[in-house]
Amino acid sequence: MSEALVPLIAPLMPHLVVAPVLVPLVAAALLLLIGQERREVLVAGSLVATFATLAVAVLLLVWVDAQGATPVVAVYLPANWDVPFGIVLATDRLSAMMLVVTGLVAMGALVFAAARWQRAGVYFHPLFQIGLMGINGAYLTADLFNLFVFVEVMLTASYALLLHGSGRARVQAGLHYIAVNLVASALFLLGVAMIYGIAGTLGMADVAQKLAALPPHDRGLLYAGAALLGIALLAKAAIWPLNFWLVPAYVSAAAPVAALFVLLTKVGFYAILRLWTLFLAPQGDATARFGADVLVIGGLATIVVASLAMVVSRNVRRLAALATMVSSGTLVAVLGLGDAVAVGGALYYLVASSLAVAVVFLLADLVERSREKGTGATLDEGLAEPMPFAADGRPPAPGVNLDDEEAALIGQPVPVALAFLGASFLACVALLAGLPPLAGFVAKFAMLDTIIGSAAPAQVPLLGWAVAVVLVGSSFVALGVLARTGIRYFWAPQGRPPPRLAVIECLPIAALLAILLAMTLAAGPALRYTTAAAEGLFDASAYVQAIAGTRPVPSPTHGTRGRQEAPR
């Protein structure tokens, strides 16, 4: 089916590359003009724009994947300047994949927000579109400074979206979130400036070419610049010890906003992946794999810290925020090992974990709302929930069945809404803990099999073993903690009125889980795609040459473009 699309896409290339930036931008501008009380129009416009962006992303993915085994890059010159001078947008397998993930999560978050959350404040839809534009732009750009600009656009929208719904907790978390991100942005700029100072250019492909011929006495400056850039990006990916902003911000954000925020940490990881493989990994000299051990150890520390924090958390949203950190840590640690096939597995894990964590954020909202209605209890850590098992020998609360043999509870109908929430949560547990049969298992197996399974045990580096042990350990912790939470929320409570859910709220959860199921069933082609994406990264020459070889479109009125000629 996908092959049939290629002839239809071909005439649109390379202009399709810029569409994931333009569509949300235009949509945001139009949505700003519509009165904020006309919510049906706003929702419709926002949905159409997001769906169009998702469709474009899928077309780009199909086109990139249809070009055969060689790493292929679609390049677009937005201002039609010659390559090293103008800004370049480029799509390869990785970018196209990230665009599709963004589109899927954004679609889910938006449909979910249409039910309730969009009414919590004004300008939700324009801000959502601007955030989407920033994320998409960051995935597409092949220019360092343009990457900074798109990241800032994305963050500015996220500052405002975090405050959506207002309230003391959101403003408090927002203040810390903005301050941390502004400092990280300052470091980002310092890093970009240093790399510009060394290479004299900002196009990523051009920098990569210049760095290959870097004189030895400039290596120290390159390392300093790369380290500054790395700190900024690792802070955005919430790698320990730069992670303390994440949990308060994600816990206090509105549910659809939190689901969108899952993508923000992925942008940090994407930038590290792109720049590290382009600038530091490929060269076979002293520069090769600068900072690899820092990535591995930082990633592992993040997984350990987040897993320990999970053990003492009882709130579902807090667990989801910590799962975001575990996901980031896993990706960065596996990247640091520098094996293309393992990174291919990690990219599959990225898709699976992003979708799964987004689903957990949406589920958490529904679950906590039903608890709130049933008991009038506060949301904080669920402390108001009475323990079903009395520790001091008092008789159990009425309606609690402690006896396995007793059959009294059989025949009590489970409300459909509760069954849906429980089943979805169970699927998320399997996904996040990496249990078969869902995609989480396939992802972790693909990573572990490459890291420790592809060589004789004696040849696996020590850090490889460390990654394997921590990955398995974090899966175990996630399983225990999430199962405990599931029991507390779905199994133990008795005699509570069933949750009241709108179909439109269940739809995104069901759809995202269905996509994850499809990813599991099509694990072979999906892994082949992500591995090809990773190999395209580690052999960056195709990316560099595709960008360096792109010529501007000649002007229809003049044979040559005047602006390229040096003035005399």
Q: Which residues bind another protein (CB under 8 A)?
A: 145, 149, 152, 155-156, 159-160, 163, 168, 171-172, 174-176, 178-179, 182-183, 185-186, 189-190, 192-194, 196-197, 202, 566-568
The DSSP call for residue 213 is T
| Residue 263 Cβ vs another protein, minimum distance, rounded to whole Å | 20
By beta-carbon proximity to another protein, the closer residue of 68 and 562 is 562
SS3 for 85-135 is: CCCCEEECHHHHHHHHHHHHHHHHHHHHHHHCHHHHCCCHHHHHHHHHHHH
By beta-carbon proximity to another protein, the closer residue of 156 and 545 is 156
334: CB partners within 8 A, 6+ apart: 299, 342, 343, 345, 346, 349, 447, 451, 467
Question: How far is residue 166 from each of residues 172, 252, 254, measured CA to CA in Å?
Answer: 10, 10, 9
| Residue 130 Cβ vs another protein, minimum distance, rounded to whole Å | 12
By beta-carbon proximity to another protein, the closer residue of 152 and 535 is 152
| Residue 283 Cβ vs another protein, minimum distance, rounded to whole Å | 23
By beta-carbon proximity to another protein, the closer residue of 192 and 537 is 192
By beta-carbon proximity to another protein, the closer residue of 172 and 454 is 172
Instruction: With CA atoms as reference, report the closest residue to 75 among 58, 63, 92.
Output: 92
| Residue 221 Cβ vs another protein, minimum distance, rounded to whole Å | 10
- Please say whether the dihedral angle defined by the alpha carbons of residues 14, 15, 20 and 25, taken in this order, is positive or negative: positive
Q: Phi first, then psi: what are they for 410, rounded to 5°?
A: -70, 135
| Residue 174 Cβ vs another protein, minimum distance, rounded to whole Å | 5
By beta-carbon proximity to another protein, the closer residue of 194 and 262 is 194
DSSP letter for each residue of 7-50: HHHGGGTTGGGGHHHHHHHHHHHHHHHS-TT-HHHHHHHHHHHH
By beta-carbon proximity to another protein, the closer residue of 411 and 562 is 562
The DSSP call for residue 141 is B
Alpha-carbon span 326 to 143, nearest angstrom = 29
| Residue 488 Cβ vs another protein, minimum distance, rounded to whole Å | 30
| Residue 285 Cβ vs another protein, minimum distance, rounded to whole Å | 24
By beta-carbon proximity to another protein, the closer residue of 275 and 347 is 275
By beta-carbon proximity to another protein, the closer residue of 16 and 160 is 160
- With b for 16 or more beta-carbon neighbours within 10 A and e for fewer, the 269-301 pattern comes to bbbbbbbbbbbbbbbeeebebbbbebbbbbbbb
Burial-class residue 561 by CB neighbours within 10 Å (0-12, 13-18, 19+).
middle
| Residue 83 Cβ vs another protein, minimum distance, rounded to whole Å | 15
Q: 484 and 429 in contact (C-beta within 8 Å)? A: no
| Residue 371 Cβ vs another protein, minimum distance, rounded to whole Å | 25
Alpha-carbon span 4 to 139, nearest angstrom = 26
